[in-house]
Chains A and B, each alone.
Chain A
Amino acid sequence: MKTLTGISRGLSCAASAVLLFCGLADLAIGQSWKPTKTVEFIVPAGTGGGADQMARLADAIIKKHKLMAGNMVVINKGGGAGAEGFLDVKNAKGDPHKIIITLSNLFTTPLATGVPFNWRDLTPVAMLALDQFVLWVNAESPYRNAKEYIEAAKKAGPGKFKMAGTGARQEDQIITVALEKQGSIKFTYVPFKGGGEVAVQLVGKHVDSTVNNPIEAVAHWRSGKLRPLCVFDNERLVYKNKVTDKQSWNDIPTCKEAGVDMDYLMLRGVFTVPGAPPSAITFYIDLFNKVRATPEWKEFMAQGAFNQTFMTGDAYQAWVAKEELRHLRLMKEAGFLAPGGK
């Protein structure tokens, strides 16, 4: 399966990134940066979540295949919706022994809480992947597709259908608000702490739907407890191997096909400290490229139905800048901006 399949908007950027990469790889042989002490891999979220899993997997792969001389340690700094971690990296200016993996809270946390940081305070390294979102309902509910579900929500009246999600004023709630706007409906949004908990609340029928990431809900889908209605992307997921007896990820229609024009992907990218030397950035790009080539990483990507777009340099920076504007717009529309924030 080609890595870059089907991501039209990222294609041109990605191609240039690949070119940039080969160049940088050559350069790296000439003058190179190497860690001289333990590298801290910060996770701006709690243990067990999507970002945490990805960081710990990368760390394990690096150790198993001895991809890096020196030590690496994964540290969770999830306080204040991740602000703790981002501020930690921001304040370690000039010492590139610190990298951080991002969620959408890179954008949502400063906007919603007014904590003083912005992605521009950090140095972008590379986009590792994009995480998808799927609209899930309980398998015992009568809704076969997104259209039926939205119709039912409309018929029931505002606030009658309950949507569970991870955190407040973060990606899950942003998607919920966008979905409400598209279908002219209104959900009661109930925030929970983690994606696994959200999925179980839906299995236990305490809520009507969720917008879990694939990896958070896949186990319950396979055991026949949940039903995916649509994926919030412009294209279907590329993974065609059967996940359940009948369906593969590729069989889930896009929400657009179902008449809900909403796409949302979450950045799983790596940033480092402000003022990091280019040679250090090259080192990390090279490192993560090696990580991506391992079978363990590929298996993880398929399991979680990730979008495997990889970007570095200017292309990555431009993508992040675009996403920031989009989050600003979405959050402004939803009324999620912090008083006194931008």
Chain B
Amino acid sequence: MADQGDVITVRGLVKRYGPVEAVRGIDLDVHRGEIFGFLGPNGAGKSTTISILCTLVEKTAGSATVAGWDVARHPQEVRSRIGLVFQDPSLDNQLTARQNLYFHALAYGVPRRQRSERIRAALAMVGLEDRADVQVITYSGGMKRRLEIARGVLHHPEVLFLDEPTIGLDPQTRATVWDHLREIRAQTGTTIFMTTHYMEEAEWCDRIAVIDHGRIVALGTPDELKDQMGGDVVVVTTSDNDRAAEQITSRMGAAVTSDDGTLRVEVANGPEFVPQLVRELDVEVKTVTVRRPSLDDVFLKLTGRAIRDEEVDSAGALHRAMAQRWQGGRR
């Protein structure tokens, strides 16, 4: 790509819904051509931020530019330069895949001579050529998502926004979606801005930002964030976890979190901590693992919530979505 620079610049972004402050002053720069992961618990302000960047929601204060254009002043210019894949499908189920793409090509001003070739290439990329002329209503969830990704890049956007692009998909389909995303980046240099709940996906991003309570609490490469944690994570199982936890805290002065039958201890030096641990504990130590902090650990430390808890909470997410829709309707 000719110019490096930043393709998204956000300064002091604030969004209020009545008395509720959903986004509380965000600063963010996304470099051209990177895969940028946007992480945070549900309700942290992820979707609001992405909606502002996509010109769907109006900001309360601050500034945001996407592809060089101010989102509030030049929404049309921004819209023509971004692609979007939403959490919920936004396809016309009654139309075929090809018709959906044709609508998109016309709406985004893809030149007439390039239309059919681009549609063909997009369908080929996501492997839907043989189902191109079938109504979308017959598609599986994974196929729909792939079609949406094909549509999202049909007009060669500078930034492709994806809101939870792999949620609800089986691991195989998730891997396929990621293959497509990497291919798009490699071929066109498109910047990819995505939210995700899956930690292994966050690992695949060039840089990630963690947002909580409407603020950015961490920003950097996955390695940088893990290094920020400092030290090691020691995972222990014992014959009596409760007693062990109490003893680790009182005798060794280390903080313990209990998770699914195991104890997690964050320490400066793991290999030195282990012999000490075995010496100090009265209970039988069954297993000990020393590892570098994962993004899960980072997320847990920053937000106080394990990201895995979030993804299973789909009923809660649905409820929130409905509440949001209702709020949207109220005026």
A and B found bound together: no
Query: Hey, which bits of chain B sit against chain A, CB under 8 A?
Result: none
